[in-house]
Amino acid sequence: MFRVVTIEREYGSGGSAIARRVAQYLGWRLLDNNLIDAVAEQAQVDREVARQYDESIDPWWRRMHAGALRAAILTLGGAPEVPFFDSEAAAASAREVIEEAADQGNCVIVGRGAQCILQRYPDAFHVMIYAPWQQRIRRVQHRANMEGDVGALLSSMDGTRAAYLRRYFDVDWKDPHLYDIMVSSYLGEEAAAWLVVGVVKGETLDRWRKDKNPGSIATHRNRLASA
């Protein structure tokens, strides 16, 4: 029986919304944006600072001079209690928060390399959410009421997430071997969420369709095709 679900996601795939539904249907704790609060508390920094470095990597010049920056902070005003915080520190704090949450169990964790951190946890179920390019563009446009080159934003955000996993875990974020299941949200967020829930709870697809009735795959494909 699984006690933890990790959800990685392409930007604009609806992964966070699906994770929220999965947590709701399972009655589990969700760690997504609120994971930033936990990191801020663990590292004793302001939430906005934690948010700035969340799921990111420092520029090369900062990584190269990190030691000198730390030393400078420690000598500023003779205040060793001032914490040094950067992307490296954020990733380390996120790891601690994720491992603690996994030990407690009954949680859904979004991003932050959780699928790598918990790769050897026998009770963790790892999910990748993806979606067709045009559907992702429409979702971001609708969610953020955004104009302009949405495709460039998708590529940039995907690149950042890929770089984060490559930097801290030396993996390709879309390597299928990192995941137990890869789900297209082309099915619809509701169907994708119930698919994950059904697998986690050990339900068969037939029972999932009969009891949960989120709509058949064909229904979702027809609805999306006409959108």
Q: What digits encode the pLDDT tens for the residues 139-161?
A: 998 877 777 789 999 999 999 99
From residue 202, alpha-carbon distances to 32, 191, 211 in Å are: 25, 16, 14
Say whether pLDDT at 224 is over 70: no
More confident of the two residues 54 and 181: 181
In DSSP terms, 25 is beta-bridged to: none
What is the domain-level CATH number for residue 178?
Answer: 3.40.50.300
Tokens of 164: 């984060």
Q: What is the dihedral of CA 115, 118, 119, 120, to 10 degrees?
A: -170
Q: What is the pTM of this model?
A: 0.79
Q: What does the alpha-carbon distance between residue 120 and residue 101 come to, in Å, rounded to a whole number?
A: 15
More confident of the two residues 34 and 30: 30
Give the number of other Cβ atoms within 10 Å of residue 213's Cβ: 9
The identity of residue 89, as a single letter, is A
144-153 long-range Cβ contacts below 8 angstroms, 24+ apart: 150/12, 153/11
pLDDT at 83: 54
The identity of residue 53, as a single letter, is Y
Q: What does the alpha-carbon distance between residue 10 and residue 33 come to, in Å, rounded to a whole number?
A: 16
Q: What does the alpha-carbon distance between residue 62 and residue 117 come to, in Å, rounded to a whole number?
A: 25
Specify the DSSP class assigned to residue 2. -
Domain count, the chain: 1
pLDDT tens across 62-111, in order? 444 445 545 554 555 544 444 567 888 888 889 999 999 999 999 999 99
Q: What does the alpha-carbon distance between residue 191 and residue 89 come to, in Å, rounded to a whole number?
A: 37
Say whether pLDDT at 196 is over 80: yes
Say whether pLDDT at 61 is over 80: no
Q: What is the mean pLDDT of the chain?
A: 82
Specify the DSSP class assigned to residue 196. H
If pLDDT is split at 50, 70 and 90, which confidence band does 213 have? low
Supply the range of the domain harboring residue 202.
4-225
If pLDDT is split at 50, 70 and 90, which confidence band does 57 have? confident
From residue 26, alpha-carbon distances to 7, 20, 194 in Å are: 14, 10, 10
Cα 55 to its chain centre, rounded Å, is 9
pLDDT at 108: 98
In the chain, the percentage of residues whose pLDDT exceeds 90 is 55
pLDDT at 118: 97
Asked if residue 14 lies in contact with residue 130, where contact means CB atoms within 8 angstroms, the answer is: no
